[in-house]
Chain A
Amino acid sequence: MRNFGEQILWFIGLVFLQVIFFNHVNLAYVVNPFIYIYFVLVFPTKQKHVVSVVLAFLLGFFVDAFSFTWGIHTIATTALGYFQPIIFRMMAKPEQLDKPYPSLSFMHGDFVKYVAIMVFFHHFLLFLIEASDFSLILWVLAKTIVSSLLTFLFVYVIEKIRK
């Protein structure tokens, strides 16, 4: 995502991919990948923090609007957008902070750890809000883990294709 135009294309593409295809993927009622957060995962390193928050909010809002799940994706994705630069700085090595955006091609293992944390954080928050019941916490955790694995897999595939 070198410039704003490319970012908008990714935004639209990922929302549509999520709504048309990935929303229909639900294996055994548990697995539910949310591939659209790839947009947040590869936010430009130099992007202003407030821009990240607003873009993440818009992303969640559009996914919500097309999935009729008002608020659920918006809350989880806005939080993800806010914590993205913080988690990235925690996970990346100092020399990697100068790169234009997080990527598997130069971060390797660090990128895997970074994506794992981000995806788990987002999915857990999302399923917890959706269940809105702490007594279902084990169910939420199970869903989070299996769905995160699938989302992670798709992120990996996209990264491999982009390289």
Chain B
Amino acid sequence: MKILFDFLIKHIATIVFIILEMVAVALLYNRNDFSRTVIARHSLTVQSYFAAIGSDIADYFYLKQTNRQLAEDNARLNEELASLRAVFDSLQCDSVVSALTPANVEYTPARIIFQSINGTRNYVIIDRGSADGITVDMGVVANGCAYGVVGSVAPHYAVVLPLINTNVQVSAKIMSNKQLGLIAWEGGRKDCVTLNELPTHVHPKPGDSIFTSSFSSIFPENVLIGRVSKDKNKHVEGFNHIIVNLAIDYGTVRYVAVIRNRNKEEYNGLVQEMESEIANAEDSK
């Protein structure tokens, strides 16, 4: 007994070291559950408060850039408005006009107050939260291009996972042939992602646009993600993987907009209903 006791005393530092490292590894592997706990929310609020101060100062240095981005955005919107007006004017029939459904998406503008985009599990904090109607899994756009997905929310802040996060996947389609795929990021370069799960016979030309598909409730259809890169495609297990140059430069974006899909609950309700039906059918077999 005394020998054991002496051993413990002698190696107490090593023993404590091993125990604490085990605790840390547990933290690392349970981070997704953990990030939803009270501690995480609390620190989100505290850090966001300080981050907001830093961001206020930094904003002055980016005024020029932000202005240019807003101007570009404005120009693009004006262009769109003009072309839509032309279409609208040409449509005289009442039945067509009445068939136009009101937009079922709503945009909430937000400011980026903190970003960590150096690693593989990147995230960004914005200054809008559940008090502004933001919930988990909402899509985020910037300058009209897909930016990311809301990961977790606090009352006045939210964490956004950008497309360059290894845990984020977005359903996408190729402009020219409407082929569907899955956008994912594998780490490494911050200006491109890959479009996976394409059949091997699909070879889009470099420069072809990639848009979000209608197959998800996160983004509305036809939000620009990027363009097909000149880099060589990869074949992995019977699928074609295409490298996509992102339309967004994550280093310069300061303002984003969160998309709220008014029909999302309805959509998700249907999906859930269907899934539980399938599960029941399998159980009864």
Binding site for B on A (CB under 8 A): 16, 19-21, 23-24, 26, 29-30, 32, 48-50, 52-54, 57, 60-61, 64-72, 74-75, 78-79, 81-82, 129-133, 136, 139, 143
Chain B nearest CB: distance from A69 CB in Å?
8
B28 touches A78 (CB 8 A): no
Chain A's interface: helix, strand, loop or mixed, by majority?
helix
Q: Is B116 an interface residue (CB 8 A)?
A: yes
Chain B nearest CB: distance from A9 CB in Å?
18
Number of interface residues, chain B, beta carbon within 8 A: 42
Binding site for A on B (CB under 8 A): 12-14, 16-17, 20-21, 23-31, 34-35, 39-40, 43-44, 46-47, 50-51, 53-54, 58, 114, 116-121, 123, 159, 187-188, 190, 251
Number of A-B contacts (CB under 8 A): 111
Chain B's interface: helix, strand, loop or mixed, by majority?
helix
The chain B residue with its CB closest to the CB of A147 is B118
B25 touches A136 (CB 8 A): no
Task: Given A65-B39, A65-B43, A70-B31, check contact A131 B120 (CB 8 Å).
Answer: yes
In the assembled complex, the Cα of A23 lies from the Cα of B13 at a distance in Å of: 30
Select which of B21, B30, B187 is within 8 A of A133 by beta carbon. Answer: B187
Find chain B residues with CB under 8 A from A69 CB.
116, 119, 121
B116 touches A23 (CB 8 A): yes
A136 touches B187 (CB 8 A): yes
The chain B residue with its CB closest to the CB of A127 is B119
A50 touches B120 (CB 8 A): no
Find chain B residues with CB under 8 A from A71 CB.
24-29, 31
B118 touches A26 (CB 8 A): yes
Select which of A54, A64, A75, A133 is within 8 A of B25 by beta carbon. Answer: A75
